[in-house]
Amino acid sequence: MTFSDYVKSHTTAYGLALTDTQVDQLQRFYEQVVTTNEHMNLTGITEPEEFALKHVVDSLSCYDPKYFTKDAAVIDLGTGAGFPGVPLGIYDPSLRITLFDSLQKRLRFLDSVVDDLGLEGLQTLHGRAEDLAHQEYRESFDLLTSRAVARLSILLEWGLPYVKVGGYMVALKGSIVQEELEESKRALSILGGEIVEVKEVTLPTLEDKRAIVYIKKVKPTAKKYPRKPKEIKTKPL
């Protein structure tokens, strides 16, 4: 089976419907990641079925139209090789997604992907989360997505400042989500977040546990957050 076959099969099994154009875009994205990965460290997952499941379906597992509303402004924090931002942008072209990362060379790769696939709603942004949150990007996004970036208590301090009051932070987490939720209670209270849903995720053919945490921004985040990187890591909220 080809990557396209796997992506069609596994998205259908998960309950997602893709058009032929979307499958083609994902196929080209997969080829670009694998080719570029030969000289740039983008991912340890390059086998077609594993990529379809653990990158594409996993990225799309966070999509829920009650949060991802039409034309929503989304920032994908720590996008890396473009996950979940690129699959989300392919799946819902109405989304205005900013792929945010601290590594310029990864963003140059993503710029070429966006141009090649004609993803008009996507753009890239270079910088550190704790710096740009104190600039014009603060409280300017309807949604923030993040996958495999940091523990939730730290992620909240990096991410919530970017989200508008009334918007949502969407964190794609692994098997220790309950532990992370417990240690994040103080951070949520201080930063103005409220957990509205924790969705358990099981990907087709896989047994490992995953979860999506949906956090609503209920009040503005105090201007002193996020703090300096060293302080965030040594004294998490």
Which CATH class, in words, describes the domain spanning 58-234?
A: alpha beta
Q: Structure tokens of 126? A: 């270079």
Beta bridge partners of 124: 99
Mean pLDDT of 205-214: 90
**Of 140, 106, 143, 139, residue with least CA distance to 125:** 106
Q: What is the mean pLDDT of residues 71-88?
A: 97
In the chain, the percentage of residues whose pLDDT exceeds 90 is 87
Q: Is it the case that residue 183 has pLDDT exceeding 90?
A: yes
The pLDDT of residue 133 is: 96
Place of tokens 């103080």: 186
Q: Is residue 6 very low, low, confident or very high in pLDDT (cuts 50, 70, 90)?
A: very high
Name every residue whose Cβ is closer than 8 Å to that of residue 166 and which is 6 or more positions away in sequence.
Answer: 216, 217
What is the pLDDT, as a whole number, of residue 191?
Answer: 97
pTM for the model stands at 0.95
At 206, the pLDDT band (50, 70, 90 cuts) reads: confident
| pLDDT of 209 | 86
Q: What is the pLDDT of residue 208?
A: 83
What is the rounded CA–CA span in Å between residue 195 and residue 170? 10
Domain boundaries, the chain: 58-234
The 10s digit of each residue's pLDDT in 12-71 is: 999 999 999 999 999 999 999 999 999 998 999 899 999 999 999 999 999 999 999 999
**What would the pLDDT profile of 89-100 be if each residue is shown by its tens digit?**
999 999 999 999
- The runs of H, that is alpha helices, within the chain are 3-14, 20-36, 48-51, 58-60, 85-91, 104-117, 129-132, 152-159, 177-183, 185-191, 229-234
pLDDT band at 232 (very low <50, low <70, confident <90, very high): confident
Q: Model confidence over 115-170: pLDDT tens digits? A: 999 999 999 999 999 999 999 999 999 999 999 788 899 999 999 999 999 999 99
How far, in Å, CA of 81 to CA of 106, rounded?
7
Q: Write the Ramachandran bin of 201: left for phi over 0, alpha for psi from -120 to 50, otherwise beta.
A: beta
Which of the 8 DSSP states describes residue 56? I
Q: By 3-state DSSP, what share of the chain in percent is helix, strand and coil, each rounded to 5?
A: 40, 20, 35
The residue that leads in pLDDT, 45 or 74, is: 74
Look at residue 22 in the predicted model and tell me its pLDDT. 97
What is the distance between the alpha carbons of residues 174 and 211, in angstroms, rounded to a whole number? 6
pLDDT for res 235: 87
| Mean pLDDT score across all residues of the chain | 95
> How much is the pLDDT for 149?
83
